Structure 1
Amino acid sequence: MKSFFKIFLASLLALVVLSVIFFFVFIGIVSSVTSAEKVKTGARAVLVVDLSRNYPEIGVENPLARFSGKEDGDLPSLYDVLRMIRHAKTDSAVKGIYIKCGSNANGMGASQEIRHALIDFKASGKFIYAYGDVITQGGYSVGNVADRIYCNPKGGVDWRGYVIQLAFLKGLLQKLEIEPQIFYAGKFKSATEPFRETAMTDANRLQLTVMLNDMYGRLLLQTAERRKLDTATLHQYANEYRIQYAADAVKYGLIDGLKYDDEVREEISKKLGGVKLDKINFITVQKYAKAIDFKRDGKEKIAVIFAQGDIIDGKGDRDQIGSVTYRDLVRKARLDDNIKAIVVRISSGGGSALASENIWRELTLARKVKPVVVSFGDVAASGAYYLSCNADSIFAQTNTITGSIGVFTMLPNMQKFFNDKLGITFDGVKTGPQADMLSATKPLTSAQRMYLQNSVDSIYYTFKERVAQGRRKDINYIDSIGQGRVWSGTRALELGLVDRLGGLDDAIACAARMAKISDYRLREYPEPHNVLDMIFGGYEKDATQSAMKKELGEDGMKTYQTIKRVKQMVGVTQARMPFEMTIE
C-alpha cells in the first residue's frame, strides 16, 4: 500500500508540474503572438487589393496565423480596407495599387464603396493596375477604375449582362407530401415563393426586373465613363455577345491589353524604377493593416456599431444580429455620455420581426439623446430596414438592396410525409384545442389559419407604422411602396426610404456634423474577442465549417445554410428578404 501511495503521489506531482509548464509555455506563445514586432511596409510598396476575398462588415482575427507563418490569416473588415486605401493615398511608402479582379466575392454595395475609395486614391497621382486570368462582371465593375486593366491572353472577360435565377421547391414538397402552410402580407413578399410557386409571380418578376435593370444601368454608366464608350454600345456588346474571347475585350475597348501575370509585374517593376520581379514589394491589406495606424484619433467619440447576417432573437454569434446583443450594444452607447453620436452599419436581409422591433426600440430611445445615423451595406432590407427606419438619417449605396417592407410566417404540415413516406404516426394528449397549434405533424384548422394570418397582418401594420413615423410619410404611401417590394438604393432615395447616397464615411461625417464635433475618434462595436476566445472559439468554428465545406462543397454548403434558415423561419414571424438571391 505504501508503494502505491508513493507511485500515486509521484504521478500526481509530475502531472501538476507538467500542467504548470504547459501553462507558462502557452502564455509565452500567446504573448509572442499578440506582442510580435510591428510589421513594416517597406520601400516602394504596392498595395494588393484582392477582390476574391470577401471583406465582411466585422473583421476576422486569427491570433495564431502569425505563429503558424501565415501572413494573411486575418481578414480585415470592409471598412478597414477602405481606410487602408485612403491611408495609402498619402503614404509615401506606397507607390500604387494592384487589383486582383479575376473574381469578386463582395456584394454590389461593398464593391461600390471599394470602387469609390480607389477612384479617390487615383487623385494622388499614384498608379493602379488591375489583372485577372478570367475577369468576371463583378471583378470588372471594380477593376475598370485602374489606369491599366489586363487579362490573360487565354482567359476572358465576362460581359453578358446580369441575371437572377431562383430555385422553386413546390414540386419537391408535393412529391414528399409536405404542405407548406404559409401566411404573408405584401404581394411582393417573395421569400415564401420557392415553397408556394413553381415560377416567379408577376409581382416578383416586376420588382426584380426593375431592381436588376437599375444595377445593370449603373454598371453600364460607370464602364462608359471609365472606358470612354457610350452605354448603348456597351449594352449592344452584351446583347450580341460580342465579348467571347479575351482578344474581343481588347478589340471593343473593355480592357487595355492581354498579358500574362509576369508581364504585368514587369510593367509594374518599370513604374517602380526597374525593381526585379521577385523583389517587387507587394503588400497585402492584411499585412498593411499591421504596419500602419489607419484609424483616426480625436477627443470626442462616435460609436460605430457593425451588424451583419440574419436578425435573430437572443444573442446570436458575430455573423448574426442577435436582438439581445445589439440591444445591449446600442444601450451601452446611448448611456455613455462620452459618446456623442451613434452610427449603425448594417448588412442584412432581415429575419425575426420581434428581434427587429426590439433593436428598433433601443435605437429610438438613443435618438432622443444623441444623433443616430444608419449606413446600409450590400443589403439592408425587411427586418434590417425595420430596425433602421427611425434613424435621423439613412445612407445607402446606389446598388444597395433595401425596402422589402412586409412580413410572413410558415409552418409545414408533414403529416402525410410521416405517415405515407416513413410510416410514422403521432398521438398525444393536450389541455386545450390550441395547445398543439404549432405542431408540424398535423394540418392547421381554419380558425388557426385565420389566427396566424391576422397575426401577420398585425405585424405588417406595425412595420408600416414604424416606417411612416420614421420617414415622416403617410402610412398609405408606405403601403404603396411596401408590400414586400425590394428597391435599389437609387430608387429608395427617390421614394424617401433613404436620405442620402453614400458610404460609411459619409454617414460618420453626417453624425459628426449633427453632434457638432470635428475632433473625434471612433468607438467600434462589437469589440474584438479576447485572445483565448479568438483562439479557441475561432478555431472550433473554423474547423467545423472547413470540415463541412470539404465534405459538402460550396453548393452543398449553401444548401445546408439555406436549410438552417428555413428551420429558423418555422413558426416565427419573419421580416425577411428571399434567403438566396444571387446576381450574376
Structure 2
Amino acid sequence: MRFFKTFLAVLLGLVVFFGICFIVLLGIIGKAISSETVTIAPNGILVLQTSQAFSEQKIVNPLAAFLKDESSEVPGLYQAVRLIENAATDDNIKGIYLKVDGSGNGFAGNEELRNALLRFRKSGKFVYAYGEVMPQQAYYLATAADKVYLNPKGGVDFSGFSTQLTFFKGALEKLEIQPEIFYCGKFKSATEPLRENQMTDANRIQTNQFLGELYSNYLSGIAKARHLDTATLHGYANQNLIQEATDALKYKLVDGLKYDDEVIAELKNKTGLGSDDKVNFVSLLKYNSATSLSNGTGESKIALIYAQGDIIGGESDKRNVIASENYIQDIRRAREDKNVKAIVFRVNSGGGSALASEVIWRELSLAKKVKPVVVSMGDYAASGGYYISCMADSIFAQPNTLTGSIGVFGIMFNLQSFFKNKVGVTFDGVKTAPYADLGSISRPLTEVEKRFVQNGVDSIYSSFKSRVVAGRKLDPAVVDSIAQGRVWSGTDALKLGLVDRIGGINDALDCAARLAKVSSYRMVEYPEIKDKFSRLLKNVSEEVQVRMVKKELGVNYDLYEQLKTIQEMPREVQARLPFSYRF
C-alpha cells in the first residue's frame, strides 16, 4: 500500500511538473507568434552597439525572451545598414549614439556599418560615440562619428594587428595519431596546424601581405576621419604611445574624456532637452521592430541570396551553413522565376567541401545563362567561397575582405598506433578487393594509395583553376601564379582581377539592376526564414548549448571550435581557409 501511495505521489508530481512546463512553453510560443505594434516616440536617438554581431541574414529567435534577450529578431547586416539609412530620413530620429563596448563583427562587416554611418551623417544628423575600453575594430567604427568620447579612466587599444595560429602536430605525435595530408598550392596552409609546429615561410609571406593590407585600410580610414596622416598613426602603434585615456586625447584619437552621464547631458543639450528630461534612446533592435523597410515595388524582382558559413554537401537545417542541396533549390527557384531579373549572391564563407562548391557553382552558372549574377563578398569569400563566386558577371568586395585561396586539400587519419598503444585495441578483417578499405583509420595508407588520393586532389585543383580561368577571363598561367592557395585582401584581389569592384551590398544591387536594365524592382531574399514555431523546436538545444559552452570556455572557445572543425571534417577533398584567422 505504501508503495502505491509513493508511486501515485511521484506520478502526480510529474504530471504537475510537466503541466507547468507545458504552460510555460505555450506562453513562450504565444509571445513568439504574437506581434505587438512597436512605435517610436519623437526626438529619439538610435543606439547602435559595436558589440552587436550581425549575421548576413536576420535571425528569428522565439526563445529570446526566455534567454533574456531584447528582441525575438536580430536584423541581418544589410538590414542593419538599411535601418541606419532609414533613420537618416526618419523625423523621429535625431541622431545616433554609438556605444563602443566590444567588437562583434569582422573587418568587411564593420566596413559596411561604418560606411552606413558616414552616409547617415550627410543627412545633417549627428553621430556620437562613447566607450570605456575601445578595441581596435570598435574604435575604427567609432571614427565614423562626429564626436568620439572616452571614459577618463578607460582606454583605446591602438597596438597594431596580429594573428596567431594554433598547431596540433606535437599533440598528435604524443597521441600517436598520424594525419595523412594531401594538398595543392604552396600557400594552401589549411593543413599546417596538423603537419607543422610553426608557420611555413610561404604562409608567413601571404599573411604578412594581407594583414598589412587590412592594417593599411584601417589606418587610412582613421586618418581621414581624425584629420591625421597614416605615418603618424603608424608611429602611435609602433611606439605604443596610447597607454592611457589621456594619451588618446593628447594624440587626437578622441575628442574628449567624459563619463557616461556627461555624454548623456551633451546629448540632451543636442536634442533640446532639459537636465531633468529623459533621453529617448531607441535600440537598433527596437527600431527594427518598429520599422517596415521597403523592398521596392513593381513586378520586376532582384533575388538577394545569402550564403554564409561552411560549405557542405546535401541538406541542412542549421543556421550559417551553405548546404549544396538547399542552395541548388533557392538558386533554381530564382532562375526559373521570370519576374526575377537578376541575382545578387552574398558570400561570406571560408569554404568547405570542394564537391559541394562545384555543385553550387554549376547551378549559378546555369542561372547566369538566363539573367545577370552579381556577387557581393563579406568578411570571407575564400577557397570554396571563391569557387562559388568566380563565375559571376561582376564581383564586389570590401578592401578588407579575405578572398582567393584557390587551392584544395584532403586529410585522412591513421589511428592504428593510437588504438594499439594507448587503448589496447587492434583491428583485423577481410576484403574482396585490394583497396576496399582505403581510408580506414585502422591502418596507414600504402604508397600506391597515397598516389591515388593525391591524384584526386590534383584533379580537383585543376578543375578549380579552370573555373576561375573561365569566370574571370584570365590566362591560365596568370591564374596558376595567383592561385596556389594564396589568400588575398580585397584590395589586392582587385589589382589581380579576382574581383571587379570595391563596394558593399548596395553597390552589388545597383550593378545587378543596371545589368538587368530595370529602373525599379522588388528585392526578394533567400533562403526563406522558417516559421517561428518550427525554428523554436529546432534551435532550442543549439542556442542553449552554444551559450553554455562559450560561458564555460571563455577565451578558449576559439580553440574548441578549431578542434571541433578537425573532428567533424569529412574525408572528402576540402576547399577552405586555414581554419580561421583571429585578429
Which TM class, normalised by the smaller chain length? over 0.9
**Could you tell me how far apart the structure 2 residues matched to 1:64 and 1:547 are?**
15
- Matched with 1:208 is 207
Answer whether contact 2:378 2:401 (CA < 8 A) is retained. yes
- CA distance 1:517–1:155, change in 2 (3 Å): same
Q: Letter of the aligned partner of 1:148 in structure 2?
A: K
Write out per-residue CA displacement over residues 65-91 of structure 1, whole angstroms, 9 at most, x where no aligned residue.
468885334321101100000001111
How much does 1:26 deviate?
Answer: 7.7
Match of 1:462 in 2: 463
The 2-side partners of 1:209 and 1:61 are apart by 39
Q: Give distance in 1, aligned partners of 2:487 and 2:226.
A: 31
The alpha-carbon distance between structure 1 residues 160 and 206, as it changes in their structure 2 partners (threshold 3 A), is: same
Separation (CA, whole Å) in 1 of partners of 2:396 and 2:154: 38
Change (3 A) 1:221 1:445: same
Query: Can you list the C-alpha shifts for 1:21-63, whole angstroms capped at 9, x where unaligned?
Result: 9999988875654343310111111111111011111221123
Query: Is the 1:133–1:156 contact (alpha carbons within 8 Å) kept by the matching residues of 2?
Result: yes
Are 1:563 and 2:556 an aligned pair?
no
Question: Are 2:169 and 2:193, in contact at CA under 8 Å, matched by a contact in 1?
Answer: yes
> Could you tell me which amino acid in structure 1 is paired with residue 103 of structure 2?
N
1:355 alignment counterpart = 356
Question: In 2 relative to 1, CA 275–323 (structure 1 residues): closer, same or farther, beyond 3 Å?
Answer: farther
Aligned partners of 2:531 and 2:116: how far apart in 1?
A: 31
Residue number in structure 1 paired with 2:376: 375
Superimposed CA distance per residue, residues 315-366 of structure 1 (whole angstroms, 9 cap, x where no aligned partner): 1322110011111110111111121111111101000000000000000000
Return the letter of the residue paired with 1:302. I
Partner in structure 2 of residue 5 of structure 1: none
Counterpart position of 1:575: 575
Secondary structure of 1:314's match?
coil
CA distance in 2, matches of 1:29, 1:457: 53
Counterpart in 2 of 1:302?
302
Q: 2:581 is aligned with what amino acid?
A: M
Counterpart in the other structure of 1:152: 151
Shift in Å, 1:569 = 2.7
Check whether the contact 2:295–2:524 (CA below 8 A) recurs between aligned residues. no
SS in 1 for 2:84: helix
| Structure 2 residue identity aligned to 1:177 | E
Map 1:29-48; keep pairs closer than 5 Å.
Answer: 30=29, 33-48=32-47
Kept in 1, the 8 Å contact 2:63–2:540? The answer is no
Letter in 2 for 1:175: K
Q: What letter is aligned with 1:210?
A: Q
Residue in 2 that maps onto 1:441: 442
Letter in 2 for 1:409: G
* 1-structure distance, mates of 2:220, 2:550: 38
Matched residue, 1:493: 494
Instruction: Name the CA distance, whole Å, in 1 between partners of 2:485 and 2:368.
Output: 26
Cα offset for 1:421?
1.5
Corresponding position of 1:311:
311
Q: Give the TM-score normalised by the residue count of structure 1.
A: 0.93
Note if contact 1:83-1:295 (Cα within 8 Å) is conserved in structure 2.
no
CA distance in 1, matches of 2:535, 2:422: 45
Matched residue SS, 2:418: helix
- From the superposition, tell whether residues 67 and 281 of structure 1 become closer, same or farther in structure 2 (CA, over 3 Å): farther
Q: Would the aligned equivalents of 2:241 and 2:247 in 1 still touch at CA under 8 Å?
A: yes
* Aligned-partner Cα distance in 1 for 2:24–2:66: 14
- Cα separation, partners in 2 of 1:234 and 1:419, compared to 1, 3 Å: same
Q: Partners in 1 of 2:213 and 2:68 — Cα distance?
A: 45
CA RMSD after TM alignment:
2.1
Give the alignment of 1:64-79 within 5 angstroms: 64-65=63-64, 70-79=69-78
Counterpart residue identity of residue 224, structure 2: E
CA distance in 1, matches of 2:493, 2:143: 27
CA contact (8 A) 2:101 2:138 kept: yes
- Counterpart in the other structure of 2:176: 177
Most deviating of 159-168 and 56-65: 56-65
Query: Do 1:185 and 1:407's aligned partners in 2 also have CA atoms closer than 8 Å?
Result: yes
Tell me how far apart the structure 1 counterparts of residues 511 and 235 of structure 2 sit (CA, whole Å). Answer: 40
Equivalent residue pairs, number: 566
- Which secondary structure does the structure 1 equivalent of 2:173 belong to? helix
- Whether contact under 8 Å (1:265, 1:277) holds in the other structure is no
Give 2:167's aligned residue.
Answer: 168
Moved more, 67-76 or 321-330: 67-76
Offset at residue 557 of structure 1 (A): 3.3
Taking a change above 3 Å as real, the CA distance of residues 445 and 511 of structure 1, as seen in their structure-2 partners, is same
- In the alignment, residue 121 of structure 1 is paired with which amino acid? F
- Partner of 1:344, secondary structure, is strand
CA shift for structure 1 position 559: 3.0
CA distance in 2, matches of 1:354, 1:430: 28
Partner of 2:6: none
**CA contact 1:33–1:67 (8 Å) conserved in 2:** no
Would you say the 8 A contact 1:164–1:581 is kept in 2?
Answer: yes
Query: CA 1:452–1:67 in 2, change beyond 3 Å: closer, same or farther?
Result: closer
Q: Determine helix, strand or coil for the equivalent of 1:388.
A: coil
Deviation at 1:416, TM superposition (A): 1.2
Superposition pairs for residues 505-584 of structure 1, below 5 Å? 505-551=506-552, 553-583=553-583
What is the alpha-carbon distance in structure 2 between the residues aligned to residue 541 and residue 301 of structure 1? Answer: 34
Distance in 2 between the 1:380 and 1:541 partners?
26
Distance in 2, Cα, partners of 1:136 & 1:516: 44
Are positions 1:137 and 2:112 aligned together? no
Using the TM superposition, give the Cα deviation of residue 292 of structure 1 relative to its aligned residue in structure 2, in angstroms: 1.2
- The equivalent residue for 1:390 is 391
User: What's the CA shift string for 1:380-437, capped at 9, x where partnerless?
Assistant: 0000100110011110000000000000001111111111122211111211111111
CA separation of 1:103 and 1:549: change in aligned 2, threshold 3 A: closer
Q: Distance in 2 between matches of 1:277 and 1:294?
A: 34
CA shift for structure 1 position 470: 0.2
Alpha carbons 2:47, 2:282 under 8 Å: kept? yes
Task: State the SS of the aligned residue for 1:274.
Answer: coil
Say if 1:70 and 1:403 are closer, same or farther in 2 by CA, change over 3 A.
closer
Q: Distance in 1 between matches of 2:402 and 2:276?
A: 42
**Map of 1:9 onto structure 2:** none
1:246 aligned partner: 245
Q: Is the 8 A contact 1:78 1:110 kept in 2?
A: yes
When residues 410 and 277 of structure 1 are mapped into structure 2, their CA distance, relative to the original with a 3 A threshold, is farther
Contact 1:266 1:277 in 2 (8 A): no
Q: Distance in 2 between matches of 1:22 and 1:250?
A: 54
Counterparts of 2:243 and 2:26 in 1: how far apart (Å)? 57
Partner secondary structure for residue 302 of structure 1: strand
List gaps (5 residues or longer) in structure 1.
1-14
CA deviation map 1:96-129 (0-9, x unaligned) = 0011223211000000010100000000111101
Q: Which string of whole-angstrom CA distances, capped at 9 and with x for unpartnered residues, describes residues 287-307 of structure 1?
A: 101111123321121111111
Q: 480-489 or 312-321: which moved more?
A: 312-321
Deviation of 1:566 (Å): 1.3
Matches within 5 A, 1:82-481: 82-276=81-275, 279-299=278-298, 300-316=300-316, 317-481=318-482
Hey, what's the Cα distance between the residues in 2 that align with 1:392 and 1:426?
A: 53
CA distance change for structure 1 residues 70 and 192 in 2, over 3 Å: closer, same or farther?
closer
SS of the aligned residue for 2:73 comes to: coil
Matched residue type, 1:558: D
Equivalent position of 1:4 in the other structure: none
Q: 1:276 to 1:526 in 2, by over 3 A?
A: farther
